Amino acid sequence: EFKVKVNKGNPQVEYKEALTNSIEHREIYKKQTGGRGKYADILFKLEPGKKGAQGLEFINKVKGGNIPKEYIPSIEKAFKEAMKNGPLYGYEINNARIILI
């Protein structure tokens, strides 16, 4: 009637993964390639987000400059990138909270 072109086919479902428990994890990165080398040590808690929330909530609770402020945005970006591939089936993790300690 309206002469609109429509693509039709099987419905597609966008699967997501969700966290069911909280964990606390320390990640240490050391790389020595001559000279001074690179070192990072972070502690974070990963937990389910608030009910009904969407996406990733990032909370920075670092005290006393243990991690320089200029590194925090890169850490947050890395977490957001990592959440795109969940551990079970590789689907995006939905509704999570990361607390950088």
Please check whether residue 57 lies inside any domain of the structure: yes
Q: What angle do CA 10, 16, 20 make, to 5 degrees?
A: 145
Relative to beta strand 96-100, strand 56-60 is parallel
For 64-71, what is the mean pLDDT?
88
25-36 pLDDT, tens digit each: 999 989 888 888
Per DSSP, the three-state class of 70 is helix
CB 40 within 8 A of CB 100: no
Q: Is residue 12 part of a domain?
A: no
d(CA 20, CA 49): 10
pLDDT of the residue at 83: 94
CATH number at residue 44: 3.30.230.10
Give residue 33's pLDDT: 82
Number of domains observed in the structure of the chain: 1
* pLDDT for 26: 96
Query: Is residue 10, in this structure, part of any structural domain at all?
Result: no
Please say if the pLDDT value at position 98 is more than 90.
Answer: yes
Find the mean pLDDT for residues 3-14: 88
- Domain annotation covers residue 66: yes
- Of the pLDDT bands very low, low, confident and very high (cuts 50, 70, 90), residue 64 is confident
Query: Domain range holding 29?
Result: 23-100
